[in-house]
Amino acid sequence: MGQEQQPGRRAVLGAAAALSAAGAVTLGAGPAAQAAQRRPADSGGRGHRGELPTPCVIAHRGTSGYRPEHTMGSYQLALDMGADIIEQDLVPTKDGHLVCRHENDITATTDVADHPEFASRKTTKTVDGVKLTGWFTEDFTLKELKTLRAKERIPKQRQHNTLYDGRWDVPTFEEVLRWAEQEGRRRGRRVWLHIETKHPTYFRKLGLGLEKPLARLLRRYGRHKAHSPNFVQSFEPSSIRRLSGLVDCPGVVLLSGPTSRPWDFVEAGDPRTVADLVEPEGLKWIAGFAQGIGPTLDLVIPRTSSGTLGEPTTLVRDAHARRLVVHPYTMRNENTFLPADFRRGQDPNAYGDAFGAFKRYFETGIDGLFSDNCDTALLAAADFRGDG
Amino acid sequence: MGQEQQPGRRAVLGAAAALSAAGAVTLGAGPAAQAAQRRPADSGGRGHRGELPTPCVIAHRGTSGYRPEHTMGSYQLALDMGADIIEQDLVPTKDGHLVCRHENDITATTDVADHPEFASRKTTKTVDGVKLTGWFTEDFTLKELKTLRAKERIPKQRQHNTLYDGRWDVPTFEEVLRWAEQEGRRRGRRVWLHIETKHPTYFRKLGLGLEKPLARLLRRYGRHKAHSPNFVQSFEPSSIRRLSGLVDCPGVVLLSGPTSRPWDFVEAGDPRTVADLVEPEGLKWIAGFAQGIGPTLDLVIPRTSSGTLGEPTTLVRDAHARRLVVHPYTMRNENTFLPADFRRGQDPNAYGDAFGAFKRYFETGIDGLFSDNCDTALLAAADFRGDG
């Protein structure tokens, strides 16, 4: 994984920024919206090309605050609630089908442990340097995987979601594409997806590279173009670079904690960490093959030693200077996930002042936000734009 | 309040039943749907005239499981989630406007107690025989009431909903009618409402009769016809009878516990209780001026002494024999509200086996169901019809 540049698609994003600035006029007349309008078209990258509002709301794993994540029920509710974009995480099956799971380890999100016929598939693996014991998608054919039922990943925190345990199976990405097509027709609007390749280097070494099958599916459903309603995203920059050679969809490089290293960097001996990538030089490098970044919220506003929100970094400004959209992750309404100054009461699973936190994050100028609670996020975004 | 008969609109409902039986063919091919199709058109009354599925889901006070009840946010989410019908409860302001609240006592559902300018309005009243201390809509002009903000009624049970406290005001019924019109246009389908007159005799004695202003509004929005997308409902049969002289919308008589007496009966010296009204003779009387009943779920399936579901009564069959639709209330997902045999774990606010309970109730042949959790109810209804 070298650092050589390849041509980005800045021309497209330039047009996008202009469209965006024009489009903003119709979004509302509140102070925030006016500030957004004042920002010159060339001061920040935009990936939404006038169709998505700013900030846009990305339904994280669907409506994972209310449904077992990455199920058709989770995606459907997100769309019904009006989410601007719906996220899928992709992992492969043994026979190379792409399915929607946050991890290839499906121990926590399916009923696989209750299937005696799969007991012998339980195993210990090292995935991206982490030792895991459980069941893994790459050890199941699609037909086998389809006999499992999805369940809530964090039942203690989100007991209400367990009501839907066993209701839906593990969707293939192609099922999602078909559903998006149908729903788009039915609603007279395009259904936007934010599609992540998970552990791409790990799977490549198993002969299960994700990018080609993903590109093939996007092409089959006419979603491979620069103006198609999707983003592709990955924690491994090389996966985004690879995809940029296969499809024209805007790519988003995900960025974890500052000391972390993308796993493809580890494998390739690239010494850079996320702390390097968020520097202007790192962003310039990313802009050579990607159109956005997806940093943790803490990279946008670090938390203080007491867990409260500190002062915003220059990341949003620096990324916009490179015409990169900024889609941070993840806002969740529960106290346990909120910055300390937005918690309310003692119950970790109670909701804190999520609206206050959304506002602080939106004020940094981010282009969109991943949230487990897209309904709350949509209300907060409408407030921020002044059209709430 | 006498027992004399007046002409009902059975011809309309006869046509409705035929439409319904034909419509059912398209609803799915599961065993339940097939059973529904086998039921002859004249064996049960139907009020949905082919447009509503059977069973239909009535969003109780909007999405009161997820939002402060009777707010535009609560109604909007219900519609977004796909509720078949959305409920409004109506009480009057001092100046005769109809607003949406479950009670005229707004102490628990608004921030009125935080308004020093209204401190002197706090008072004690007897409403339908019950002594209440608090603030009451009939003591506020609409302009005054519009300075209040709605909040969650049961914050200890539904802490998550408190996130939205203060976000919405108390909607007028006319605002709801305008919203339904707009949303209907936008979605290309009619938005159904289930509209309740609250304490109609009490308000009539205050010179704030509900039926005429309600009829006037329904007329203004073209919703006064037999085929308009609304039901009107009341615990006081005389209110439904009165409405039947003003508009052609199907009326639903609500029925509380067996020993209770409608308040208009109490005032008029009519000795009958709900236990009398659910007898064939009582249903025959209701069918003289109404097109449906809205019994408590316990009148459909009584609970045993240990709180579990017992055997269904003959109420659904008897009501259908009188061509009355049956819309019982209220299904809620939380353990504390479920029959004992559908509770799971010890936490009263955790969700129990709501799907199991929905199924038991749907199996009685009811035409619709009020639920605080319309999303769960819709999934359960689709399961029951075999199109889940």
The complex's ipTM works out to 0.89
Distance from CA of B387 to the nearest CA of A (A): 14
Diameter over CA atoms, chain B? 62
Q: What percent of chain A has pLDDT over 90?
A: 87
pLDDT of residue B15 exceeding 80: no
Q: Which of B63, B74, B80, B163 to mutate to test the interface with A (most CBs of A within 10 A)?
A: B163
Phi, psi angles (nearest 5°) of residue A267: -65, -35
By DSSP bridging, strand A368-371 and strand A123-127 are unpaired
pLDDT of residue B7 exceeding 50: no
- When comparing pLDDT for A48 and A258, which is higher? A258
- When comparing pLDDT for B307 and A23, which is higher? B307
Per-residue pLDDT band at B46 (split at 50, 70, 90): very low
Q: Quick check: B159 and A354 CB within 8 A? A: no
Q: Which of A162, A163, A331 to mutate to test the interface with B (most CBs of B within 10 A)?
A: A163
pLDDT of residue A178 exceeding 80: yes
Q: Per-residue pLDDT tens for B52-75?
A: 999 999 999 999 999 999 999 999
Per-residue pLDDT band at A49 (split at 50, 70, 90): low
State chain A's mean pLDDT as an integer.
90
Neighboring chain B residues of A358 at a CB cutoff of 8 Å:
none
pLDDT score, position A1: 30
pLDDT score, position A50: 77
Contacts of B73 by beta carbon, 8 Å cutoff, 6+ apart? A379, B62, B67, B164, B167, B168
C-alpha R_g of chain A? 20
Q: Per-residue pLDDT tens for A340-376?
A: 999 999 999 999 999 999 999 999 999 999 999 999 9
Q: Quick check: A160 and B82 CB within 8 A? A: no
Angle between helices B31-38 and B374-385 in degrees, nearest 10? 70
Per-residue pLDDT band at B310 (split at 50, 70, 90): very high
Ordered by start, the domain boundaries in chain B are 3-103+171-385
The answer to whether B266 and B246 have CB atoms below 8 angstroms apart is no
Identity at A320, one-letter amino acid code:
H
Q: Quick check: A163 and B355 CB within 8 A? A: yes
Q: What is the mean pLDDT of residues A15-44?
A: 35
pLDDT of residue A272 exceeding 60: yes
Closest by Cα among A354, A388, A356 to A371: A354
Q: Which two tokens stand for residue A382?
A: 């409408």
Per-residue pLDDT band at B25 (split at 50, 70, 90): very low
How many A-B residue pairs are in contact by the CB < 8 A criterion? 40
DSSP per position, B78-112? HHHHT-SEEEEEEEE-TTS-EEE-S-SB-TTTBSG
Q: What is the mean pLDDT of residues A68-82?
A: 98
| Chain A residues interacting with chain B (CB cutoff of 8 angstroms) | 73, 77, 80-82, 159-160, 162-163, 167, 333, 345, 347, 350-351, 354-355, 375-376, 379
Q: Per-residue pLDDT tens for A304-324?
A: 999 999 999 999 999 999 999
Closest by Cα among A366, A364, A360, A362 to A313: A364
State how far the Cα of B146 lies from the Cα of B170, in Å rounded to an integer.
6
Q: Quick check: A82 and B81 CB within 8 A? A: no
Q: Which residue in chain A has the smallest CA separation from B77?
A: A81
pLDDT score, position B379: 98
Select from 2.40.50.140, 3.20.20.190, 3.40.50.300, 3.40.50.10470 the CATH code of B3-103+171-385.
3.20.20.190
State how far the Cα of A349 lies from the Cα of A76, in Å rounded to an integer.
24
Q: Per-residue pLDDT tens for A120-138?
A: 999 999 999 999 999 999 9
* Phi and psi based region of residue B362 (left: phi greater than 0; alpha: psi -120 to 50; beta: remaining): alpha
pLDDT of residue A226 exceeding 80: yes
pTM: 0.90
Neighboring chain A residues of B73 at a CB cutoff of 8 Å:
379
Q: Which residue in chain B has the smallest CA separation from A157?
A: B350
Q: Per-residue pLDDT tens for B205-231?
A: 999 999 999 999 999 999 999 999 999
The beta-carbon neighbor of A333 closest among B80, B163, B379 is B163
pLDDT score, position A121: 98
pLDDT score, position A3: 35
What is the four-CA torsion angle of B250, B251, B257, B259, rounded to 10 degrees? -130
Where do runs of H (alpha helix) occur along chain B?
A: 10-24, 31-38, 72-81, 142-145, 173-187, 200-205, 211-220, 237-244, 263-268, 274-277, 280-286, 297-300, 315-321, 354-362, 374-385
Question: Which element (helix H / strand E) includes B371?
Answer: strand B368-371
